Amino acid sequence: MNGVYRRLGAYYRPYLPLMYASLALLVVTTGLALAYPYLLKMIVNRVIIGHEYGQLLTLTGGILLAALVKGFFNFGQQYLGQLFGSKTAFDLRNALYKKLNHQPFAYYDEVHSGDLMSRMTADLDAFRMFLAFGINNLVQLFFIVVMGIGLMLSMNWILAIVITCLMPILAVTALRFDKRLHPTFRQIRSTLGALNSGVQENIMGMRTVKSFAKESFEIDKFNRRNDAYFESNMDATRLWRKFFPFIEFVGNFGVVLILMVGGYLVVTNRMNLGDLVAFLSVVWFMIWPMSQLGFFLNNLTQATAAGERLLEILDYPDTLDRDREHLTGEIKGRVEFRNVTVRYGNVEVLKNVSFVAEPGETIALLGLTGSGKTSLTSLIARFYDAGEGQILIDGEDIRHWDRHTLRRQVGVVFQEPFLFSTTIFANIAYGRPNASEEDVERAATLADAAEFIHGLPEGYFTLVGERGMGLSGGQKQRVALARAILLNPSILILDDATSAVDMETEYQIQQALQQVMAGRTTFIIAHRISSLKRADQVLVLDDGRIVDRGTHDELLSRPGLYREIFDMQFQDFSSMNNVAVLTGTSGSRH
């Protein structure tokens, strides 16, 4: 537990003066609260028993004044505590978001976005609440016990010993309770993250859910996760249910003992009534926060479990190569793979791959699904690092290049493009936010996107829905392609970037791309051989290996996987044209 707060100390240590000031005010308010029993004692002994009625107004005025001053200091204490927690959470939230943005692609292959959202919100807020209020509650409890025991000893040492004997019982019970409660709250945090992940996944895939009529299945799956979260909370409730009644029983048992012993002392004239009333007032003053010890430990345990989950993000291994030289110059575009092997777990997705792409060349990658095409291009932008072998950019090991320098000069268009919930213009200019309207329009024209953009209600300033909702798959691909073109990269990677457009649009985009690809190294992944005909070199992959290479004509001239795929696509195209003739439609537009 201590390790969590020690390791997160970098985020709250700058604001410790706020916490110290808050605790100082807390000591004052606690002291003022303990003045009530003393004033009550004077009222009983002097006014009620001594008949000094002239002091009633003064003593009751003292109680009112103490209450006003206590309220003022209590406001300051809570404000400073809240400021301490909020400032810490602000810095911690920024650090978490920065860390998430610098995590490698492999990290997001392992985690669920809903769980990350839960950590960034619910877990972070639990940690903030403990800093803002929980620390003060625990410290206040300590001071109440210490000051209360001191005040009780000054009143009557016999009764003080009686009530103090109950303290070890409460302390041992609290420690045992906390030890059992911590794993439970860890489970609560975990099940909440799984619940949030399921909700987010369901919302994002709602079209698929409805298209397969799987609403009932998804509701049942949500119910199971919701039930796991409910049971985790109930486990904590059952533990708390055992703890709280016991604490309350011990507290009330202490009051009964005080009444019995104190009553005897009053009857035998060894203690006056005012002292007994004041003593009982102190006991009740101590019993309330001690009865809340379960809540305080609850907050502490939740905050500790939340802190552990936050540390799992912050402690993820740093991917920066701090021991290497970081090159930041302009990339010309020569790419070389030397005996590169990549494993995902125990599976080899690339096996001893070697090739050279000279600056300005177009390299096409062809292969069946799962042959390793996307894995190969992902290495060029350092989305992943090769396990074995070496990748060179302009003759330098790719790990020597500064990541930002590299990725600013490697433009990637994914098969499933992501668009932000902003304007078309902002999406295209994402890599170059200061780009002029002319540059954005030129990039859109080269991507064959200008025509449909002009047809939108607000043109380039039309707002795009979440994840590109409102645009077709082909339109999203063309916007993403324009975004990559505007970046003006030295290396361009097109990962099946025209899979969602028809053959006629694909042909128009290919014609426009000839100008774009001129002078830059381009890698094209495509399933249609028609997209690969102009490539300087075609690499044919199968099961993670390069099984053939050459130009389009060279590969067609000899038997192999390339010619097999070409023959299958040619037969499909011929069949499609025959159907088009029979139905009176255009095969190219089908």
- Asked if the structure places residue 454 within a domain, the reply is no
377 or 582: whose pLDDT is higher? 377
Residue 440, pLDDT score: 92
Residue 586 pLDDT greater than 50, yes or no: no
Q: Give 22-36 pLDDT, tens digit per residue.
A: 999 988 888 787 777
Q: What average pLDDT does range 397-424 have in this prediction?
A: 85
Rounded to 5 degrees, φ, ψ at 353 are -85, 130
Closest CA to 481 of 454, 508, 458: 508
Residue 195 pLDDT greater than 90, yes or no: no
Residue 582 pLDDT greater than 60, yes or no: no
Residue 355, pLDDT score: 93
Output the DSSP codes for 16-53. Answer: HHHHHHHHHHHHHHHHHHTHHHHHHHHIIIIIIIT--G
Give the end of a domain, one of 248, 283, 314: 314
- Asked if the structure places residue 492 within a domain, the reply is no
Q: What average pLDDT does range 476-482 have in this prediction?
A: 86
Q: Give 132-141 pLDDT, tens digit per residue.
A: 888 888 888 8
Number of folded domains that form the chain: 2
- Asked if the structure places residue 10 within a domain, the reply is yes
- Asked if the structure places residue 508 within a domain, the reply is no
346/242 same-domain check: no
Contact, 117 vs 196, CB < 8 A? yes
Closest CA to 190 of 114, 137, 293, 129: 114
Residue 92, pLDDT score: 92
Helix, strand, or coil here: 192?
A: helix
280/220 same-domain check: yes
Amino acid in the structure at residue 381: A
Residue 315, pLDDT score: 86
203 or 256: whose pLDDT is higher? 256
What CA–CA distance (Å, rounded) separates 147 from 361? 81
337/209 same-domain check: no
Helix (H) or strand (E) holding 523: strand 521-525
238/127 same-domain check: yes
Residue 578, pLDDT score: 47
Q: Give 83-100 pLDDT, tens digit per residue.
A: 999 999 999 999 988 888
- Asked if the structure places residue 461 within a domain, the reply is no
Cα dihedral 542, 546, 547, 549, rounded to 10, equals 130
Q: What average pLDDT does range 263-278 have in this prediction?
A: 80
Q: Give 206-246 pLDDT, tens digit per residue.
A: 666 766 677 788 888 888 888 888 888 888 777 777 777 77
271 or 20: whose pLDDT is higher? 20
Give the end of a domain, one of 314, 348, 376: 314
Over the chain, what is the mean pLDDT?
A: 80
99/246 same-domain check: yes
397/304 same-domain check: no
Residue 291, pLDDT score: 62
Range of weakest confidence among 226-230, 349-353, 496-500, 550-554: 496-500
- Asked if the structure places residue 422 within a domain, the reply is no
Q: Give 41-96 pLDDT, tens digit per residue.
A: 777 767 677 667 777 787 788 778 878 888 888 899 889 999 999 999 999 999 98
The residue whose two tokens read 């992902």 is: 378
Give the end of a domain, one of 250, 280, 314: 314
Highest mean pLDDT among 107-111, 416-420, 548-552: 548-552
380/290 same-domain check: no
Q: What average pLDDT does range 429-449 have in this prediction?
A: 89
Residue 91, pLDDT score: 92
Task: Please report, rounded to a whole number, the percentage of residues in the chain having pLDDT higher than 70.
Answer: 86
Does the global pTM surpass 0.85? no
288/374 same-domain check: no
Angle (CA) 295 118 7, round 5°: 70
45/72 same-domain check: yes
- Asked if the structure places residue 485 within a domain, the reply is no
Residue 319 pLDDT greater than 70, yes or no: no
273/387 same-domain check: no
Q: What average pLDDT does range 531-537 have in this prediction?
A: 83
209/126 same-domain check: yes
Query: Residue 550 sits in a domain of what CATH number?
Result: 3.40.50.300
Residue 393 pLDDT greater than 90, yes or no: yes
Contact, 580 vs 590, CB < 8 A? yes
Query: Residue 53 sits in a domain of what CATH number?
Result: 1.20.1560.10
- Where in the sequence is the domain holding 90, given as residue range(s)? 2-314
310/342 same-domain check: no
- Asked if the structure places residue 484 within a domain, the reply is no
Binned at pLDDT 50, 70 and 90, residue 590 comes out as: very low
User: CA distances (Å), 509 to each of 477, 485, 517, in order?
Assistant: 11, 12, 12
590's CB contacts (< 8 A; 6+ apart) are: 502, 576, 579, 580
Residue 467, pLDDT score: 63
